[in-house]
Amino acid sequence: MSLSRALKLSTALLCFSGAVAFPSASAPPESAQKGVLIVVSPVSNDTGIKMVPDNAHPFQAPGPNDQRGPCPGLNTLANHGYLPRNGIASFEQIITAVREGFNMEHDLAGALAGFAMLARGNAFLDLVSIGGVSPLIPVLPGAIDGPKPPGGIATHGRFEGDVSMTRQDAAIGDNVHFQDSLYDELLLYVGKFGDNSPVTGNSSIVTTKVMQEFKFARFVEDQIKNPVLQYHAGRNSLSYGEAAFVLNFFANGTDGTLSTPVMGSFFRNQTFPDDWYRRSSPGNITLIGQGVDEIRNAHPVPPGANAPNGTYVLDAPINSCSDVYFNLAVENLPASYSKATGVFKQNVDTLLAAVAKAFGCPVIFPTGLSGV
């Protein structure tokens, strides 16, 4: 179906948030800051099925000063102490936590954690907030990404973006916290397109078909409602990738199916469900890429953005090693990282390499040309 036809059709349809050593709360003078060298951990052998959480990781609701944000996966891990419960984590901690909790494969985890650190963290101190701005994360050395402290992954642009499943677009509403109304909409799609289960009932199993229809509906809604919608190659694929995360990482590892009570536990309560097992094999970028293609190809929405007149304008092809890599890691990250020196520079290089590796691309230094 062509995009314009898809948009018309859908217009018709519409007429219907541990233990680590933290730096002090105020930013010390840059000259006094001591960087933390990032060391990429080796690939772990602990990648089989296992019950999660274990006894060492009970649920505890976050306290008022604990950071939580737009990623239900990271929020859940922090609520169980797989990540520091204050929501401030290092690159290495994130890689370990997503393997422990969800069996996310090492290089995929490295790419996401590396990108998050470069986009919205402090790569000099190896700290990123899984929520918003934190007094524990000071301005970058030399203020090379501006005078404000890094915003955390909840900050709109670079990583957090439009057409999420359970968060609104930043220009429309709350882009950080779980939104009941959007989740109810997802449940409607499960009711309509989901599979039956003898245990959880008819139309209670979340399938690819559910995500194909729901993700398209979410695009159509936001394309109409959000005058500044941005759905460029990076965000476009991340957005479909998050739907593939739901299917592949939230499903119970015992039988690979995802029921609505289990999905609700992650999205609504940000806690691991009872009798839940992580997936039986590491989920890597190939698996998620296949999921992206399957979901997006049902109703293709190519990369683009809304023009001031409300029309969705498609982007020109990028013709790089990977459009997604180029848009995310080259166009979306600040060119001023070229001014980093010493430990800071070593960390930037390590993180850029982690992102490029997952895409099988050579490192291309950021240009920040997208300006978001």
Binding site for ligand HEM (CB under 6 A): 70-74, 94, 98, 102, 104, 109, 112-113, 116, 153, 159-161, 164-167, 242, 245-246, 249
Nearer to ligand HEM among residue 139 and residue 355 (C-beta): 355
H or E element that contains 293: helix 285-298
Nearest residue (CB) to ligand HEM, 217 versus 246: 246
Question: C-beta of 69: minimal distance to ligand HEM in Å?
Answer: 7
Minimum distance between the CB of residue 185 and ligand HEM, rounded to whole angstroms? Answer: 11
First-to-last alpha carbon distance for the chain, in angstroms, is 31
Q: Which is nearer to ligand HEM, 183 or 193 (CB)?
A: 183
* Nearest residue to ligand HEM, by Cβ distance, number only: 73
Task: Report how far residue 150's alpha carbon sits from residue 235's, in angstroms, rounded to the nearest whole number.
Answer: 20
Which residue, chain included where needed, has tokens 């809304």? Answer: 306
Q: How far is the CB of 49 from ligand HEM (least distance, A)?
A: 15
**For residue 54, what are the CA distances in angstroms to 81, 100, 105, 129?**
11, 10, 20, 24
Based on CB atoms, which residue is closest to ligand HEM, 112 or 125? 112
Contacts with 280 (C-beta within 8 Å, 6 or more apart), sequence order: 48, 49, 103, 253, 256
Mark 292-311 as b/e (b = at least 16 C-beta within 10 Å): bebbbeebebebbbbeeeee
Q: How far is the CB of 180 from ligand HEM (least distance, A)?
A: 12
For residues 102 and 337, which CB has a smaller minimum distance to ligand HEM in the complex?
102
d(CA 181, CA 160): 20
**Cα–Cα distance between 359 and 337 in angstroms, integer?**
21
Q: Which is nearer to ligand HEM, 33 or 79 (by Cβ)?
A: 79
Q: Which ranges of 170-207 would DSSP assign to H, the alpha helix?
A: 180-193
Smallest separation, CB 284 to ligand HEM (Å): 12
In the chain, DSSP finds a helix count (H) and a strand count (E) of 11, 7
Choose between 28 and 184: whose C-beta lies nearer to ligand HEM: 184
Answer for the pair 218, 169: CB distance below 8 angstroms, yes or no: no
- DSSP 3-state of 201: strand
| Residue 319: Cβ within 10 Å count | 7
CB of 265 to ligand HEM, least distance (A): 12
- Kindly state the smallest distance separating residue 271's Cβ from ligand HEM, in Å: 13
Nearest distance from C-beta of residue 255 to ligand HEM, angstroms = 17
The smaller minimum CB distance to ligand HEM, of residues 100 and 331, is found at 100
Closest separation in Å from C-beta 341 to ligand HEM? 26
Pick from 177, 164, 131, 309: which is nearest to 243 by CA? 164
| Closest to ligand HEM by CB, 27 or 244 | 244
285-298 vs 233-249: helix crossing angle, rounded to 10 = 110
Between CA 317 and CA 308 the distance in angstroms is: 21
The half-sphere exposure of 132 on its side-chain side, counting CA atoms within 13 A, is 8
Q: How near is the Cβ of 94 to ligand HEM at its closest, in Å?
A: 5
CB closer to ligand HEM out of 78 and 116:
116
